[in-house]
Structure 1
Amino acid sequence: MVNPVDSKSSGTRWLLPVLLTVQFLVSLDMSVVNIALPDIGDDLGFGADSLLWVVNAYALAFGGLLMLGGRLADVVGRRRTLLAGFAVFGIASLAGGLAQTPGQLVAARAVQGAGAAALAPVALALITVNYAAGPARSRALGLWGAAGALGGAVGVMAGGLLTDWAGWRSVMLINVPVVLAVLLLSRRGVPADRRTGPAPRLDVVGALLVTGGMAVLVLGLVRTETHAWGSGTTLGTLAAAAVLLAAFAVVESRQRQPLLRLGLLGNRPVLSANAFALLMSSGQFAAFYFTSLYLQEVLSYGSTRAGAAFLPFCAGIVAGSVISTRNAGRFGERATLVTGGLLGAAGFVWFALTVGPDGTFLGSILGPSLVASVGIGMCFVPLGTAATSGVAAGETGMASGLLNSSRQLGGSLGLAVLVTVASGVTGSAGPAGDGGGPGALADGYATAFGVAAALLVAAAAATAVLHPARTPSRPAETSAETSDAAESEKSPKNLADGVDPRPYRSTQR
């Protein structure tokens, strides 16, 4: 039987640094190329309409493959999935840094997103399985959440610095030595996989349907900048995604070993965590995007200066994670999530009231950045705990993939909606012919921040309604000695739901 270990155990002292690096890199590469896009376009000869595919290719592969990546961790082993994901991510980063044509770079970014889709879910699964419930797990989850949020914020800053100092290729190549170092560390620091029962089957049909459905859904959302929401292209794409995801739900309801056991969503903490993640990410990702635009397009900051302006976000996220780690156990997941969501919303309201054509860093950025980021940082510990509450060890990858899918889908949906909202306000603001002036841009960004605040309020409200006052603990993993007894005692309902009581065990090498 596997016993979750304390974070100070000598056998796992390198595990957490590996998992934090995973979360940081995955988030970093979603934003690090943004500021480098003009240089990339000039150097490789991208057309105006095709340049965004440097970002979208990563988002499509990442969002589409997250559920598959999470389930692979349960089926083939968490350590194997982690090592394979790192290898794919590192090779794709090298290929992207050496790309000579637009097609090569876009393909490399897509493969990079596929590697990230294997890495992100397994990190949360390994924390849940290897750290005992209580202070050890809370600390690990707090650092895990902070690493992800910091990666997004630092990505903007690093993108500006690297592009200015070393050229756009450095934003891709910087991953290579990091991946090599962590691969070596992972061989010693990540527990080896040892199976205690027959290998579960991978739901291939479900994998194809959910991958296609999620990829098509993200595609429809990211293309709303060039294809209006009411256009035939957008409506057709979203309809196709709905059909694929509906077919996925039907298939999963009939599978004995599904990619996503639908009964998982009957677990109220899991449901509330995913609803919160979807809504919070919708506001958070868009807020990062509009802050970057405001700094550069309205306040005329250069790349490096704009990146440095994100430092308050980084500091606030760390502070919020520390607060949550120390107090989430005392006040409970629901209270912590509601408080963090409302505090984040207050920061976005502050942004909405102060961003203007005559804004300053001290008056329009510093204060709201700190308030919003502290609130967001407070949410990661209870979010990670709730998303795996009451989940069997053999389904932690599944639950982790679901949470990461909710976050990615929320980010894509929120950005698509808020870009449309901001563009509508900007286009109608100011005197005729001046719809794109600093004042009109600031009006559009302010409106977007207001909507982002409303999304975080909705996240807090959903948690208050859905999340129970007390949450169940994660069932212990079944030991090799008792697996036969557990198999014989499985109820018909569990058989229908496809619960496998004999998951991978983690053992120290």
Structure 2
Amino acid sequence: MEKSTKGRWAALYLLCGGALMIVLDATIVNVALPAIEHDLGFTQAGLAWVVNAYLIAFGGLLLLVGRLGDLIGRRRMFLAGLIVFTAASALCGVAQSQAMLIGARFLQGAGGAMTIAVVLGMIVSLFPEPREQAKAIGVYAFVASAGGAVGLLAGGVLTEVNWHLIFAINIPIGIAIGVAALRVLDDDRGLGLREGTDVLGAILITAALMLGVYTIVKPAAELGWTAGRTLLLGAAALALLAAFIGWEAWTRHPLMPLRIFGSRNVSGANLIQVLVVAGMFGVFFLGTLYMEKVLAFSPMRVGLGFLPVTVLMGTLSVRYSERLIMRFGPRATLTPGLVLILSGLLLFTRAPVDGNYWLHVFPVMVLFGVGAGLAFPALMNLAMAGVAPADAGMASGLANTTMQVGGAVGLAVLATLSGSRAKDLAAAGATQAEALTGGFHIAFAVGAGSVVAALAVAVLVLRSRPANDPDAELDELAEEIRPVHVL
């Protein structure tokens, strides 16, 4: 029996609550890192693994668990992920050693991937009607993209009390969401493991993603992109990815059917997401450092500094994005959003050493909030457009994977460039604040270049037919079928 409208929206808010808990954890730790470093005696290099362990597990497992959700049932995967994530949060909260915290963070990343990989697929299944689906995806897009800014605010508040609370807070929330999910979410049986168990494909893509993310966050960031170890591990990751693609094209039950890339909108949306998130994620991290180390903001003030992003993204994503997408189409809604994000990054390259929040930071936050509120709901609509219901979990996992990989790449590249530039300026006699600010400027400029590339993909690859055009679905179907006739 079809779920009532009230029941479907209740399920949406529950799924978004679970996703928000996961997304928050990607950034909530950033503000607490100095306190963790002091209490557990981390070195600067070792401290990075508090973040990296989470990113490697999260980004490496998303595709695998997304497809497994299609096979064994998405509600089961969602609940299993909540259990793993909540248990890992408890371990993080009581950690008294470096090894225990890093291991628990890796487990947290695995649980986070299991939970969030299937959420978008469940939302698409709950809301098959285009207008409602656009609105529901807008709500999820707000959670997925604004959660990082909310995490900075929450991290600042909780760290003022005790850094252990940033992990312990997940325990009651995870339990509450799990209990509610048993009542609100319908059980789905999935396709069954016999319909698509691709063990070798799962091993290849998981190994490729984990090795790729590890290469980005460890040797590339520490030794440089041209170091022998970086090149060797990067080549190995690419070889595993190539082997995965070749295997998926040959096997009968692929983990990721390559037909999904036959849609220009799906392929283009995922590529754009990598480029945009690469530009923005590093800004959240480096913008935090600018406010903390240059403007001398407290953790609480840093969190409040990002609040305009959250408010504006929430207002646009929840109230207006669905109307804009249905009226003008996702591509026409996406493009001005990307232009606003680009403008914010370019404006941030002018932030001075003696900057003022209202003059030099607040306008950037406004541009980011409005731009992301337009861009991310449109991107997620495009990423799920024309995907068969049986592949929804896999497409959801792919969309989340491109977001996480983009974030990892952006953080590694921008942080490395910023650090190198700051060292050069310090060696030339600049003060610490001048050196740091100069490094941030370079990073923001490169982030802007990444968004320019995203704009180029949007113009050259995406289809421009309005979302409410009745012929759009037929065209999308024809585009999906055409490669079959070629074969």
Q: TM-score, normalised by structure 2?
A: 0.93
Correspondent of 2:337 among 327, 337, 340: 340
In structure 2, the CA distance between the partners of 1:496 and 1:162, relative to structure 1 (3 Å rule), is farther
Amino acid at match of 2:363: G
Distance between the aligned counterparts of 2:328 and 2:127, measured in 1? 21
The unaligned stretches of length 5 or more in structure 2 are 476-480
SS of structure 1 residue aligned to 2:188: strand
Amino acid at match of 1:371: L
Q: TM-score, normalised by structure 1?
A: 0.89
In structure 2, the CA distance between the partners of 1:74 and 1:441, relative to structure 1 (3 Å rule), is same
Alpha carbons 2:312, 2:369 under 8 Å: kept: yes
The unaligned stretches of length 5 or more in structure 1 are 476-490, 498-509
Alpha carbons 2:156, 2:299 under 8 Å: kept: yes
- After the TM superposition, which parts of structure 1 deviate over 6 Å for at least 4 consecutive aligned residues? 491-497
Amino acid at match of 1:208: I
Distance between the aligned counterparts of 1:219 and 1:98, measured in 2? 26
**Which deviates more, 392-401 or 466-475?**
466-475
Alpha carbons 1:337, 1:460 under 8 Å: kept: no
In structure 2, the CA distance between the partners of 1:49 and 1:171, relative to structure 1 (3 Å rule), is same
Correspondent of 2:260 among 261, 264, 268: 264
In structure 2, the CA distance between the partners of 1:237 and 1:467, relative to structure 1 (3 Å rule), is same
1:106-255 equivalence runs, <5 A? 106-165=102-161, 167-194=162-189, 199-223=194-218, 224-255=220-251
SS of structure 1 residue aligned to 2:122: helix
Correspondent of 2:304 among 287, 305, 308: 308
Q: Does 1:360 align with 2:362?
A: no
Structure showing the higher helix proportion among its residues: 2
What is the CA distance between 1:432 and its match in structure 2? 2.7
In structure 2, the CA distance between the partners of 1:87 and 1:197, relative to structure 1 (3 Å rule), is closer
Q: Report Cα offsets for 1:35-73 as digits up to 9, x if no partner.
A: 211221222232332111110000000000000011011
Correspondent of 2:10 among 9, 14, 26: 14
1:30 matched residue in structure 2 = 26
SS of structure 1 residue aligned to 2:372: helix
Alpha carbons 2:70, 2:191 under 8 Å: kept: no
In structure 2, the CA distance between the partners of 1:40 and 1:467, relative to structure 1 (3 Å rule), is same
Correspondent of 1:74 among 57, 66, 70: 70
Distance between the aligned counterparts of 2:94 and 2:260, measured in 1? 43
2:478 matched residue in structure 1 = none
In structure 2, the CA distance between the partners of 1:157 and 1:359, relative to structure 1 (3 Å rule), is same
What is the CA distance between 1:457 and its match in structure 2? 2.2
Correspondent of 1:419 among 405, 415, 419: 415
What is the CA distance between 1:198 and its match in structure 2? 8.2
Q: Does 1:461 align with 2:453?
A: no
SS of structure 1 residue aligned to 2:95: coil
Alpha carbons 2:18, 2:174 under 8 Å: kept: no
Alpha carbons 1:316, 1:371 under 8 Å: kept: no
Alpha carbons 1:391, 1:474 under 8 Å: kept: no
Alpha carbons 1:256, 1:495 under 8 Å: kept: no
Alpha carbons 2:213, 2:405 under 8 Å: kept: yes
In structure 2, the CA distance between the partners of 1:493 and 1:277, relative to structure 1 (3 Å rule), is closer
Correspondent of 2:61 among 65, 68, 89: 65
Correspondent of 1:429 among 421, 425, 431: 425
Alpha carbons 2:262, 2:483 under 8 Å: kept: no
Alpha carbons 1:216, 1:241 under 8 Å: kept: yes
Distance between the aligned counterparts of 2:349 and 2:359, measured in 1? 12
What is the CA distance between 1:473 and its match in structure 2? 4.0
Q: Report Cα offsets for 1:246-277 as digits up to 9, x if no partner.
A: 11111111111111111211111111110111
SS of structure 2 residue aligned to 1:168: coil
Q: Report Cα offsets for 1:111-135 as digits up to 9, x if no partner.
A: 1100111112211001111113333
What is the CA distance between 1:423 and its match in structure 2? 2.3
Correspondent of 2:86 among 87, 90, 93: 90
Give the CA RMSD over aligned residues: 2.3
Amino acid at match of 2:205: V
1:500 matched residue in structure 2 = none
